[in-house]
Amino acid sequence: MRSAVDNQASKRIVILLGLPGSGKGTLASLCTRELGWPQLSTGDLCRRHIAQGTEVGKSIDFAIKSGKLVSDSIISNMVFDWLIASFAGVDTVVFDGFPRTAEQAQLLNDFLTSKFPICKLELVKLEVPDQVVRNRIANRLICGNRDCQAGYSQVAGSSFCSKVANQCDRCGGVLKKRSDDNDLALDTRLKTYAEHEQRLLDILKVDDNEIVVLNGNRSIEEVFAEMKDALGV
């Protein structure tokens, strides 16, 4: 008989990689909506802690505002708690924003070996030119409701514009700018991403040819369709 969390059943984690603003969060939300894969967004989890004023939230607020990474142990503990709860009853989950450092990749490997030994990692990288992500982030707003955090664009005519100005289509929350969506913090985030990507891939032991690389500078529907083809879902 199967237990509620069947650690021995085969599991899959789809890990989305790519620069800030490359579309990982939007793609992860589509995976949840269309494929039923629970989505882990570490950025959303961090912002929720800050909005709730938890002890963790107070300790990470400054790092987030400045575009710096939160400590590996804080993030990893959040992720592992989430994973234990979310792998119950599903075989696939999607990660947006984890792992981001070699240390996190190692902690993830160790955690999976002990808790979910039959787990396959699929890596999907969204490639988008720097200038395009800069433009997207300069024009990005998110829903201020900490349980929603849906993303919107302020570019007139974009398919990501909210239907009513400054109001979230999903929950009616007021839209706001993210505290780290400014030039200074973004420079740090882009630099940090570039510094860590190869080292974390080395730890996960994936060769370039095992990563699904998608052109993220297209409509999200096209990106999603190509991702499903590549993963055979």
Closest distance to ligand ADP from the beta carbon of 92 (Å)? 20
- Nearer Cβ to ligand ADP (56/227): 56
- Nearer Cβ to ligand ADP (39/92): 39
Give 161's DSSP letter.
Answer: S
Rg for the chain, CA atoms, rounded: 17
215: β partners = 127
Residue 125: name the closest of 217, 219, 8 by CA: 217
- Nearer Cβ to ligand ADP (8/73): 73
8 Å CB contact between 24 and 96: yes
- Nearer Cβ to ligand ADP (5/74): 74
Give me the residue label for tokens 């297209």: 218
Length of the chain: 233
Closest distance to ligand ADP from the beta carbon of 149 (Å)? 9
Closest distance to ligand ADP from the beta carbon of 3 (Å)? 29
Closest distance to ligand ADP from the beta carbon of 79 (Å)? 8
- Which residues, at least 6 apart from 210, have a Cβ–Cβ distance to it below 8 Å? 123
12: β partners = 92, 120
List of residues contacting ligand ADP (CB under 6 A)? 20-21, 42-43, 46, 63-64, 67-70, 75, 97-98, 100, 104, 180, 189
Report the residue number whose CB is nearest to ligand ADP: 43
- Nearer Cβ to ligand ADP (92/104): 104
Closest distance to ligand ADP from the beta carbon of 124 (Å)? 15
Q: How many CA atoms lie within 13 A of 18 on its CB side?
A: 29
